[in-house]
Amino acid sequence: MNRSSGRRRLTAAALSALAVATSATACGSGSGSTGAKAADSGTYTIWDPYPQFAKGSAWVKLLDDCGTQAGVKVKRTAFDTSDLSNKALLAAQQDNSADVLVVDNPVVSTLAEAGVLTSTDDNKLDTSKVDPNLLAAGQSGGKTYGTPIGANTLALYYNKKVLKEAGVDPASVTDWKSLTAALDKVKKAGKKGITFSAIGTEEGSFQFLPWFWGSGAKLTELDSAEAASALTLWTDWTKKGYAPNSVLNNTQTTSWQEFASGDYAFAENGTWQLANAKKAGFDYGILPIPAADGGTAAAPTGGEFVTIPVQGDTGRYATAQKLATCLTSTQNLYATDTTLSYVAPTTEVQDKQVAADPDLKPWVDAVKAAKGRTSDDLGTKYPRISEQLWKAVQSALSGSKSPKDALGAAQSAVK
């Protein structure tokens, strides 16, 4: 990999893309202290986006154990997700990158295209057991950069009592037509239909993508008839009162709070709400988001990749590979993904998760159908596309433009 070429590109595509490429589903927030790589060659640095896990936690213990197995000491620094991406770019410019970088999956292609990361061809990370649809989020230009540590995605939570009182069998919800019919019954029964996030940020795009992809639309053609059908679905729901006007400003957190009130039949949300769902005080179920004509829609994947950044001292790669391999081994993935509320990226560990907790089965199915936001080799193009997509959603739901016109404007802006 050409180091100087990577440096030249860092302040152009990479910095602009990272402004909006951070995950909508980060595990937590906070900040960690920075620090130059230790001069001691027996110390290896790992940066991650999990500041909620302090010293003594299972995650930090795993990092230390992997270091011990590799015969080195691990120096770990935790950052907020967006802060980590920017710090990784700055460190690369200074030839002071972490040895192992755990980074949000939509940022992988941006860092790769900027010359920050080594590919699996170079670092020899084994990705053969990883589900191809999850691995695709870390691919750019025909190469793979890192391996996923786990994934989360979106599905439909439903309130069993609300649906029962409305005479709706959850099993009958298999496509857009049957879902809309269920929402109509719920409204007529005096309850509220569905809540989601359509806010003008990456969260809005993240939540719209299952419907967008479920229509058969492609991110390279925002103004297609299929895309318009997806946006029309959402606008019709708000016009008919099946979804509240608050979706325009809802984050995924405030949308969940609406569902947790017990008045809504459905909520689009993610695996990270499982713990809250169990505390909600009512019986709930989970359905995959249906595609327009049936089947499971591809929902976007959240979660991080374990990557190995470019180093001036290439002799560090062998040990960095041992650390990354340890973190993503079959033995360690199960415990780690349980801690992170993630679905594992391999079938072997997914089966183990479902055996231990059958409630995870719908989530495993959703993850198997999921898709990376930067898949299809979109790379640094995705953030600009996403920004125009959420603007189109906002325009249509607010009534300022028709779905067709809003998406036409979005496509023109992308070009």
Per the DSSP assignment, residues forming a β-bridge with 285 are: 158
| Through-space distance between the first and last CA atoms of the chain, rounded to whole angstroms | 30
Are both 126 and 99 inside the same structural domain?
Answer: yes
Does residue 374 belong to any structural domain of this protein? no
Are both 312 and 236 inside the same structural domain?
Answer: no
Does residue 196 belong to any structural domain of this protein? yes
Nearest-angstrom CA–CA distance, 244 and 411: 27
Compute the CA torsion angle 46, 50, 53, 55 (nearest 10 deg).
20
Per the DSSP assignment, residues forming a β-bridge with 74 are: 44
Per the CB < 8 A criterion, the answer to whether 292 and 369 are in contact is no
Are both 248 and 318 inside the same structural domain?
Answer: no
For every residue of 140-151, DSSP letters joined together read ETTEE--EES-B
Nearest-angstrom CA–CA distance, 332 and 150: 11
Are both 292 and 362 inside the same structural domain?
Answer: no
Q: What SS3 state is found at 382?
A: helix
Does residue 343 belong to any structural domain of this protein? yes
Are both 167 and 295 inside the same structural domain?
Answer: yes
Are both 272 and 323 inside the same structural domain?
Answer: no
**Distances, alpha carbon 334 to alpha carbons 59, 68, 275, in Å:** 12, 20, 18
Does residue 77 belong to any structural domain of this protein? yes
Helix H or strand E encompassing 269: strand 264-270
H-type helices in 119-170, by residue range?
120-123, 132-135, 160-165
Are both 170 and 310 inside the same structural domain?
Answer: no
Does residue 403 belong to any structural domain of this protein? yes
Does residue 67 belong to any structural domain of this protein? yes
Per the CB < 8 A criterion, the answer to whether 195 and 243 are in contact is yes
Are both 284 and 174 inside the same structural domain?
Answer: yes
Token pair for residue 159? Answer: 């309130």
Buried b (16+ CB within 10 A) or exposed e, 235-259: bebbeeebbbeebbebebeebbebb
Are both 271 and 316 inside the same structural domain?
Answer: no
Does residue 30 belong to any structural domain of this protein? yes
Does residue 24 belong to any structural domain of this protein? yes
Are both 266 and 351 inside the same structural domain?
Answer: no
pLDDT of residue 171: 97
Counting the structural domains of the chain, the total is 2
Q: How far is CA 363 from the centre of its chain?
A: 13
Per-residue pLDDT 10s for the chain (415 aa) are 333 333 334 444 444 445 444 444 444 333 333 444 443 569 999 999 999 999 999 999 999 999 999 999 999 999 988 789 899 999 999 999 999 999 999 999 989 999 999 999 999 999 999 999 999 999 998 999 999 999 999 999 999 999 999 999 999 999 999 999 999 999 999 999 999 999 999 999 999 999 999 999 999 999 999 999 999 999 999 999 999 999 999 999 999 999 999 999 999 999 989 889 999 999 999 999 999 999 999 999 999 999 999 999 999 999 999 999 999 999 999 999 988 889 999 999 999 999 999 989 999 999 999 999 998 888 889 989 999 999 999 999 999 999 999 999 999 999 8
Are both 223 and 274 inside the same structural domain?
Answer: yes
Nearest to 27 by CA among 406, 355, 414, 340: 340
- The CATH number linked to 170 is 3.40.190.10
Are both 124 and 10 inside the same structural domain?
Answer: yes
Give the distance between the most distant pair of CA atoms in the chain: 69
Tokens 């596309």 sit at which residue?
Answer: 385
Domain range for 383: 154-299+379-414
pLDDT of residue 293: 98
H-type helices in 2-52, by residue range?
3-9, 15-18
